[in-house]
Amino acid sequence: MKIRVVLPVVAVLLALLASACGSSSSTKSGSGGGGGTVLTVARTGDIDGLDPHVATAFQTLQGLELVYDTLFEQDKDLKTVPGLAEKWEYSADGKKLTIHLRSGVTFHSGAPFTSADVKASLERILDPKTGAVLAANLASIKKIAVPDDATVVLDLSTADASLPAALSHVSTAIMSVADIKSGAIKTKPDGTGPFSFGNWAQGDTLHLVANAKYWGGAPKLKGVDIRVVPDESSILAGLRAHQFNIGVLSDPTVVSQVKGGDLKLESTPSLSYYVFAMNATRGPLKDERVRQALSCAINRQEVIDSAAAGEGRVTGPFTSPSYKFPPFEGLPCTPPDATATKRLLAEAGFPNGFTINSIVLTGEHGVMPNIAQSVQAQLQKVGVKLKTQMLETNTFVERWKKADFDSYITINSGFPDPHQMYVRYFNSKGNLNQVAKYHSPEVDSLMAKGLAQTDAAARTPIYRQLSEQLLKASAWVWLFGATEDRVLAPGVQGFIPMPNGSLKSLRQTTLSQ
């Protein structure tokens, strides 16, 4: 009885499995015709819109970055390099930026790219009605002049050395003036990038097609499919079965399973960092020595090992590879240092510790709660009791924006440019300073100096001083820097993982079956 019913069910399943294995290999080789193969990238989220100027979700920007170009780009060390701008120069006072555009570039629609497109795109971003995300980063632009088709001159209200870096973010993508006027950009992406927009099955797959006329040389792939699989373990399973070529992972517990077998894990330090931020206007935390004591108490490597399966690295305030400074320079100790912690607490009048609360952003996977527990356990040892509260994003933001906390634990995204990294938080005029709750004349003046300095080499020492100042003030404890993890199935060549999570190197990636 049982056997009679169960057998056919099993038979049907096996038949499906057999035909599935057969057909999956045939579709793979079938896509191999003319101009390379289609590479499949699997990640947990879909793009949530088509307009790069207003999109906020990281995964949307990561997808649109393959379709749109920017005036400047970032190399793998996040140095600013030419994009649609071939050359650029600042005037002596730093208040005028002249940009010479690449010639012979066309949009996917076939329209030629000129300075009029740059002007229209930048004006669209600066128009408050657009609601562009990074408009504030371009606030120094006073006037945009286009003396000829290949030149753009930006008149600035103040010298702004961070502008080229700001103009390398896909939120400042260059669109065609015709599309902006017709409003077509909202529904049909049309860029100058290495891949053109094929079609989009929402929540499922985004199909991109190689742009044979791409100014940097036609991509070697025929196209890229960005597949949405919300569960990271399932992505790993698909990679093991060689049905995905590249997997974008962020959960350290899943990443640590990528060992053995033929998969290759490419990890690179990310710009994002985990931070334990204190409210320097409340109770014992008003005292700089107390904040320093907490910073001295926490063993960063222990947090990385216990909370993130070892996937992370000790970092100071700046996470860009081009601005790497000693992680503890400015602190009166090298953490973990229990003696220094006790001395500082005693000096501040809290030899027996105290109790503070902490709100924790839970995030998409288990890392944040683990971090909170590790920090809590370590502070307990020096007598500081941390009462933690785990909150999902929306609830966290509500509490956070009212600065209704003694401390909080979160992950922050970083910027390649050191000015953009902290101006929002620690500049007395920064729009998030009311939440960061710390500012000082020293920090303000270092930020102003760094912004006015357009010579890259001369900027570095200024930001090193800023790093020291931020560590000395210890409003935040930089716990560790995250990693960007990409898992490659066999056959993928030439893919470079980027600290900013960009997939742009797909333009030179090859795939052999």
Which residues of the shown chain bind other proteins in the complex (CB under 8 A)? Answer: 1-2, 5-6, 9, 12-13, 16-17, 19-21, 23-24, 27, 40, 48-50, 56, 128, 131, 133, 186-187, 201-205, 225, 227-231, 233-234, 237-238, 240-244, 393-395, 397-398, 400-401, 424, 431-432, 434-435
Nearer Cβ to other proteins, position 94 or 363? 363
CB nearer to other proteins: give 17 or 456: 17
Cis previous bond, 336, omega within 30: yes
The secondary structure of 119-173 as a DSSP string is HHHHHHHHSGGG--TTGGGGTTEEEEEEEETTEEEEEESS--TTHHHHTTSGGG-
Quick one: 228 or 447, whose CB is closer to other proteins? 228
Query: Of the two residues 48 and 455, which places its CB atom closer to other proteins in the complex?
Result: 48
Largest Cα–Cα distance of the chain, in whole Å?
A: 90
Q: Select from 273, 252, 268 the least CA-distant residue to 413.
A: 273
Amino acid at site 44: T
- Give SS3 for 378: helix
Query: Least Å distance between CB 330 and other proteins?
Result: 25
Nearest Cα to Cα of residue 109 among 228, 209, 190, 200: 190
- Cβ 155 to other proteins, closest distance in Å? 25
Instruction: Quote the DSSP letter at residue 35.
Output: S
Nearer to other proteins, 218 or 263 (CB): 263
Nearer to other proteins, 20 or 145 (CB): 20
In the complex with other proteins, the residue whose CB is nearer, 131 or 351, is: 131
Q: Of the candidates 182, 208, 231, which has an alpha carbon nearest to the alpha carbon of residue 66?
A: 208
CA–centroid distance for 498 within its chain: 9
Give the nearest distance from C-beta 48 to other proteins in angstroms.
Answer: 4
**What are the residues whose beta carbons fall under 8 Å from the beta carbon of 51, sequence distance 6 or more?**
185, 186
DSSP summary character for residue 322: G
**Could you tell me the smallest distance in angstroms from the CB atom of residue 183 to other proteins?**
12
Min dist. Cβ of residue 284 to other proteins (A): 25
Pairing of strands 476-488, 246-249: antiparallel
Give least dist CB 241 to other proteins, A.
4
The whole-angstrom separation of Cα 477 and Cα 215 is 44
- Provide the minimum distance between the beta carbon of 201 and other proteins in the complex, in angstroms, as a whole number: 6
Residue number, 243 or 256, with CB nearest to other proteins: 243
- For the bound state, the minimum distance from the C-beta of residue 37 to other proteins, rounded and expressed in Å, comes to 14
CA 151 to chain centre: 30
Residues 370 and 340: their CA atoms lie apart, in Å, by 26
